[in-house]
Chains A and B, each alone.
Chain A
Amino acid sequence: DQQVKQNSPSLSVQEGRISILNCDYTNSMFDYFLWYKKYPAEGPTFLISISSIKDKNEDGRFTVFLNKSAKHLSLHIVPSQPGDSAVYFCAASSPGTGGTSYGKLTFGQGTILTVHP
């Protein structure tokens, strides 16, 4: 049961253009969403997050959009740079019983982004 899905295994874009990475989820209890970036032989690095009370969060070149009705979120990178080439993971979290469990992240399968000079 894949509760967080990234249906595009890979994405290739030209330097300077926009990169759009997509993520869908099925669990309506998820209320906090994150994007992580991962380089080979390194652990994932937190990139940006969004709470379900918002529909957009922006940090520099990175913007995350959340569409709760569609259970869909996307990460926009503008302008894309060769150093952005990495695997991007979408992740989600929900409050567990008793208000705990924000620490438990459910990840998608990842999308390999390649930005060509």
Chain B
Amino acid sequence: GAGVSQTPSNKVTEKGKYVELRCDPISGHTALYWYRQSLGQGPEFLIYFQGTGAADDSGLPNDRFFAVRPEGSVSTLKIQRTERGDSAVYLCASSLTLSAGKQFFGPGTRLTVL
């Protein structure tokens, strides 16, 4: 498909475990964004990349969260020592260039920490 894809669609893990969430942006999109959406809330910004570099990571809640985009395409969000409060839907978006408007979102990964 031509849209943003995220894998897995659902992830259940135990408290204290390590998880990786993957995002495949639309081909040719240079900017990539990660958001987190908790139940009943709007998406909350985590980090965005312009190319391979993290242009703004001010939304990452603490140092247990880390994201990479080594080749400027696929990105992985990594969460160490997961906590129950990390349970949420993690959304990825991409855009042709850095843009507030034309961000195309993937369906998200639902993370549940037991």
A45 to B4, CA, bound (A): 12
A76 to B44, CA, bound (A): 25
Interface check B25, CB cutoff 8 A: no
Query: Is the pair A104, B45 in contact by a Cβ cutoff of 8 Å?
Result: yes
User: Given A89-B42, A101-B56, is A34 in contact with B100 using a C-beta cutoff of 8 Å?
Assistant: yes
Which of B31, B40, B43 is the one whose CB lies under 8 Å from A103? Answer: B31
| Residue numbers in A under 8 Å from B43 (CB-CB) | 44, 89, 105, 107
Query: Is the pair A93, B100 in contact by a Cβ cutoff of 8 Å?
Result: yes
Which of A96, A103, A106, A108 is the one whose CB lies under 8 Å from B103? Answer: A103
The prevalent SS among residues of A at the interface is loop
A residues apposed to B, CB below 8 Å:
4, 6, 32, 34, 36, 41-46, 49, 89, 91, 93, 96, 100-110
B residues apposed to A, CB below 8 Å:
4, 31, 33, 35, 40-45, 48, 50, 55-56, 58-59, 91, 93, 95, 98-108
A-B residue pairs in contact (CB < 8 Å), sample of 7:
A43-B93, A43-B106, A46-B103, A103-B50, A103-B103, A107-B43, A109-B42
Given A100-B56, A103-B50, A104-B58, 12 further pairs, Cβ under 8 A? A45-B105, A46-B101, A49-B101, A89-B42, A101-B55, A103-B98, A104-B45, A104-B48, A104-B56, A105-B100, A106-B45, A108-B42
